[in-house]
Structure 1
């Protein structure tokens, strides 16, 4: 097992959160590709998500995940992104493929220290003390196409 450090950034006017979180990767290798890095991180996150308990006492059958799920939660005034209302477990393979496709499509950027990582095939060292930073990119206007 290798431990890496990931910067978690949540920007906002009221409560900006900046934290460096250790993440355990299921590998003994010192050098891996970005492709493998994403697979390991998504695996860790999916396992963590799938272990979270479902908020049974808070489940309202009218608000179970459907097309109108989010608007109903917003109307009720209860939107809690740390609670899990969906009883379905996350699909590891699908999540890994989605993360790699999102990276290739430029939906988020990865930095190792100050250097941006731009290719899934790029080899990175897990022995350096530098932190990884993931930044979700948001399009401000127009369309992506």
Structure 2
């Protein structure tokens, strides 16, 4: 199933949109975070660029306008990035909403439909990976 993912600021300003294809349902929040990061990293690694704009900031990256710049462009390890994202969620680095409902438990089972919009509200830039 296809799910629309949005990134937003705490004030509600949308900063990015990502269509995730092949999302299983039901899925736990932990699995959804890992699925999202794996997809972002796969897209980046297929066409390595100087900028990586995703849920986490790869290590050895510097902040650049509209993303993070790696010197030189490099492949990102999706598992390390996903682990970083899951840890960041546990430290309140970002919140996740399905529709207007906040999901607070990584192991909560989510039964998603294509009509659902999942929002990631980032509180601080996440570093790691």
TM-score, structure 1 as length reference: 0.64
Hey, what does 2:8 align to over in structure 1?
Answer: 9
Q: Deviations over 1:29-80 (max 9, x none)?
A: 320101110111000000111123446xxxxxxxxx97xx85xx9xxxxx44
- Write out aligned runs for 1:60-139 (5 A): 70=62, 79-80=64-65, 81=67, 84-127=70-113, 129-138=115-124
SS at match of 2:120: strand
Hey, what does 1:52 align to over in structure 2?
Answer: 47
Unaligned 5+ segments in structure 2 are 51-58, 125-129
Off by >4 Å, runs of 4+ in structure 1: none
2:19 aligned residue (23, 28, 50): 23
Quick check: which one's helix share is greater?
Answer: 1
Number of aligned residue pairs: 115
Counterparts in 2 of 1:53 and 1:114: CA distance versus 1, 3 Å: same
Quick check: which one's strand share is greater?
Answer: 2
TM-score, structure 2 as length reference: 0.71
Compute the displacement of 1:21 (Å).
3.1
Q: Deviations over 1:81-100 (max 9, x none)?
A: 37654332101110010010
| Higher relative contact order, chain-length normalized (CA < 8 Å, sep 6+) | 2
